[in-house]
Structure 1
Amino acid sequence: MAERTEGVEPESWKTGGKYVEPGGEFTRDQRYIATRITADGRDGYPVEPGRYRLVVSRACPWANRLIIVRRLLGLEDAISMGVAGPTHDERSWTFDLDPGGRDPVLGIERLREAYLARFPDYQRGITVPAMVDVPTGQVVTNDYARMSLDLSTEWTAYHRAGAPDLYPESLRAEIDKVNDGVFRDVNNGVYRCGFAGGQGAYDKAYRRLFDRLDKLSERLRDRRYLVGDTITEADVRLFTTLVRFDPVYHGHFKCNRSKLTEMPVLWAYARDLFQTPGFGDTIDFDHIKRHYYQVHRDINPTGVVPLGPDLGGWLDPHGREALGGRPFGDGTPPPPPPEAERVPVEHTAAARD
């Protein structure tokens, strides 16, 4: 996961994974490798097709953002993607999905090898998403929030024909404002509930989460998308939390005032995005559930992964077309994902529990 694999300090990796500090409030470590890949190469890493590899886990909501944006913009040929497994050992994310347990491009077994190649004494979290410089095998950045914006603004020369503008200049101030509230209370809010070490911290996080979800419901009641009349970065950021809400956050993180399926506006909005090319086709429900329930052993000591919920509802009609809006603006939907990057059908909403 992003940010110290969901806020875990490095020592916690060695002690079996400690995610909850008794009596305390969860505080996300937001210190990232701030190096940027830019068109002018001002940080020493210029935009260059084929040079960088995006390392993700489909379990992670922060990495899922990059997967979606890369798909929508058509950057698959310009930036290759390595997919780590849904769980990790005490050292870091591993490439156990690949033959021989090694990433076929980077040739490494664990993502930490790319971090240590650049920073031999690296003491922060080994996190996904991460962009790795293929020629040197060194991590470039794990600053996920900046990474997705840079895909939209710095990689324009390699966007597909018909790529949407996910961060239009005229709407950036509003997008940033919406994103700030969504991050504090929803994206990070579910973790503040799940990793709360005391009743007071949990109660505060719970109220903030559902207060924000109620406000978002009102915002989306008569508008199809969060900002403007097309899909933007704001929709991507909210979607990756909503799609995980019922499978993991409602039960595992005790975000249980309401399921997503019990919040009509947000449920319809999430289905609308899920059924939009580039969103639902990136979601691996099996990886999502296995990560949260098997890795967070101080929350779920048995590691038992629940069979539910039934995922078939994601494909039900949503009716949001009546609100107008144009998903891709003047652009077009992305083509189907490359064969090698398709989620196994048994891990998707098409496989009903």
Structure 2
Amino acid sequence: MVPSRDDLDSLRLYVSYACPFAHRVLVGMALRGVMGRLRLSVVQPVMGPDGWVLHPSDTEPGVSTLLDVYRRARPGFSRRASVPMLYSVTEKRILSDDSLEILSWIDRLPGNSREGSLFPAQLEPELDRLGKFVADAINSGVYEAGFAANQEAYDQAVTKLFSALDQLEELLQSRLWLCGDVMTVVDIQMFTSLIRFDLVYHTLFKCNWKRASDYRQLWNLARRIYGLPGVADTLRVDQITTHYYKSLPDLNPRGIVPRGPDILAKLRGG
């Protein structure tokens, strides 16, 4: 569990600018005006044989990967080390590696600069329903298509993915945000997948029926979030493309990183 009080000096948040799940936490921090209040440890964009590699400034004897941090906190740990991960330095304990739990904690930190909540209580049923839909059909759906083991699995995955995108595009015809009149965590879930879509998922994961930027309402949603204070600083296109195209040799054996597309121009309206 994440800490219930504003005791930030003893905490470290491991993130990646490349990972969409870690990115949603960074977006939440920007929106809440808490950047600089919590120590960030940004992992390297290219994964090694043991997964995420720590930045040299975060290494110490016997600890050079995020997996090493996990194993120090949880001896015998054998699963995949993931970001984001909130860590207590004093207790050498992992407090949470669930992006939505960490984002909810950030949302409730005292001294946040933004009014309202990304988890409004009055929208809880809709947040739960749409959040699960986006997580399953979009956030995970692109990976189901990209790592499909055969044609049938790919066809099912890509059909499910674009059917979901079509449904959300239709939903946004009548509302500004996915859950209604206010921005919520579900919009952030969608944002971090949308900005990776044309960069990575369209080509590397073969999700190429359409581009995200071809969906007018969904892309307007991405542009609105990108334009909010601090959000643009959380988007590192070079780290996203480097990570995906150089960390997945089964999908891109030569490690060539494409030079385009220029999604920043599209997000800025160019």
What range describes the TM-score normalised by the shorter chain of this pair? over 0.9
Identity %: 33
Please tell me the residue identity of whatever aligns with 2:57: R
Q: How does 1:241-320 map to 2 (within 5 A)?
A: 241-311=193-263, 312-316=265-269
Paired residues of 1:193 and 1:254 also in contact (CA < 8 A)? yes
The 2-side partners of 1:113 and 1:140 are apart by 16
Unmatched segments (≥5 aa) in structure 2: none
Report the CA distance between 1:57 and its aligned residue.
Answer: 0.6
Q: Deviation at 1:249?
A: 0.3
Closer, same or farther: CA 105–301 of 1 in aligned 2, 3 Å: closer
In structure 2, give the amino acid aligned to 1:72: L
Q: 1:136 to 1:92 in 2, by over 3 A?
A: farther
- Normalised to the residue count of structure 1, the TM-score between the two structures is 0.72
Cα shift readout 1:66-89 (whole Å, capped 9, x = no counterpart):
111122122334421111111121
Q: CA deviation at 1:314?
A: 1.3
* Deviation, structure 1 residue 275: 1.5
Matched with 1:83 is 42
Closer, same or farther in 2 for the Cα pair 1:206/1:234, shift >3 Å? same
Partner of 1:202: 154
Q: Which amino acid in structure 1 is aligned with residue 269 of structure 2?
A: D
Aligned counterpart, 2:185? 233
- Partners of 1:50 and 1:77 within 8 A in 2: no
Cα distance change, pair 48–239 in 1 and its aligned pair in 2 (3 A):
same
Per-residue CA distance 1:275-303 (angstroms, 9 max, x = gap): 22233321100000011111110011110
The structure with the greater share of residues assigned to helix is 2
What is the deviation of 1:162? 3.4
- Which residue among 26, 32, 55 is the counterpart of 1:67? 26
Corresponding residue for residue 96 of structure 2: 141
Length, aligned pairs only:
269
Compare 161-170 and 246-255 and name the one that shifted more. Answer: 161-170
After TM superposition, the structure 1 = structure 2 runs for residues 328-347 of structure 1, keeping only pairs within 5 Å, are none
C-alpha contact (below 8 Å) 1:55/1:131 kept by paired residues = yes
Secondary structure (helix, strand or coil) at the match of 1:294 reads helix
Q: Contact 2:33 / 2:114 at 8 angstroms: preserved in 1?
A: no
2:53, 2:210 → 1: CA distance? Answer: 34
**Does structure 1 conserve the Cα–Cα contact (< 8 Å) formed by 2:67 and 2:80?**
no
Structure 1 residues 105 and 173 mapped into 2: Cα distance closer, same or farther (>3 Å)? farther
Determine the C-alpha separation between the residues in 2 that align with 1:104 and 1:191: 30
Q: CA RMSD in A?
A: 2.0
Name the TM-score, length of structure 2 as normaliser.
0.93
Aligned 8 A contact 1:49 1:77 in 2: no
**Whole-angstrom CA distance in 2 between matches of 1:233 and 1:199:** 34
User: Quick check: 1:116 aligned with 2:68?
Assistant: no
How many Å apart are 1:135 and its aligned residue?
1.3
**Is the deviation greater in 191-200 or in 144-153?**
144-153
